[in-house]
Structure 1
């Protein structure tokens, strides 16, 4: 295993742990099952810094860390896998924007970096909440208010959570990266 790959794996685990800590902080509650937090920020940093594979791994590890707190909802093994492993890992889809973000950084275009960060955050958030939406329809549909379809209920609840988290994470990341773009620059290691 080369040194750069080892650094990426260590950072993936470290940033998953940071996401877990942020997840323990109070969040904004807008409905009984809908909370908004900026806990995805560390996974997005991995996405911008290393790309898809490392951020996918970091998100997966964060989902795994959810087991340590006991703060998870387990209806069935399939629901658990979808909402804690697959959904969290899919935040890594923001990593597909790694090349354009790195290019904009090298060109010194703060506006382009900010725009691509916002786009990447929305893609990663949408990828995560797509799985929560599916689980909402299949597993949580019984909680829909009388007369509301499980599809609309899941769409509304997960859509609110996704939009809120994406906006909050975008704001935090644009401020962080504008203040210190080194946060998402890969460190070069000597061979």
Structure 2
């Protein structure tokens, strides 16, 4: 497997830290269980630039930083691993569309570029929120309103969070990447 260059490693670390800062400063809390944020944008940019590997490492690093800043003790070891380590690393699946985004960015094919961006953001968002959904059923279901199953509670709260964050990230990246293709095109 090809190793990442020093440039990639530095960019991954910086963009993971930017995601952490965005998440801490700008997050729209709709309720205690629903939060919409565009903090995934830097990690998704890395995934479009360096592929699944780079995006996964950036997401993993962001998750670890998040755990250090805001430790979670629900479910002891398993819940934080699921919701911070695995879930955040899964944002890297956005990179499945890295080649397509890079190709269309080089060609200047805006409609195909935006379609690739949206598809990649959707894959990364769903991959992350599947883990939040599972953790919601297992660990957070006890907070469901009376008469509502843990499954439905997690589906609604994580579904709204995922859809809101997906739409926000897709819009932002669809505005940024076409106007500044160098963000996803690499030299090293």
Q: What residue is the counterpart of 1:63 in the other structure?
A: 63
Residue correspondence of structure 1 range 1-191 to structure 2 within 5 A: 5-69=5-69, 71-75=70-74, 76-188=76-188
CA distance in 1 between counterparts of 2:107 and 2:175 reads 19
Deviation sequence 1:110-133 (CA, Å, 0-9, x none): 111111101110110000000000
Structure 1 residue 108 displacement after superposition? 1.6
CA RMSD of aligned residues (A): 1.5
Q: How many residues align?
A: 186
* 1:67 to partner: Cα distance: 2.9
The Cα of 1:101 is off from its aligned counterpart by 1.1
After the TM superposition, which segments of 4 or more aligned residues of structure 1 sit over 4 Å from their partners? none
Q: Calculate the TM-score normalised by the size of structure 1.
A: 0.93
- Contact preservation (8 Å) 2:67, 2:80: no
2:56/2:91 contact within 8 Å kept: yes
**Aligned-partner Cα distance in 1 for 2:3–2:43:** 21
Given the superposition, is the C-alpha separation of residues 134 and 4 from structure 1 closer, same or farther in structure 2, using an over 3 Å criterion? closer
Secondary structure of the structure 2 residue equivalent to 1:146: coil
Unaligned runs of at least 5 residues, structure 2:
none
Residues 1:89 and 1:96: Cα distance change in structure 2 (over 3 Å): same
Using the alignment, how far apart are the partners of 1:104 and 1:181 within structure 2? 9
TM-score (norm 2): 0.94
Unaligned runs of 5+ in 1: none
- Cα distance in 1 for partners of 2:57, 2:26 equals 25
Q: Secondary structure at the match of 2:5?
A: helix
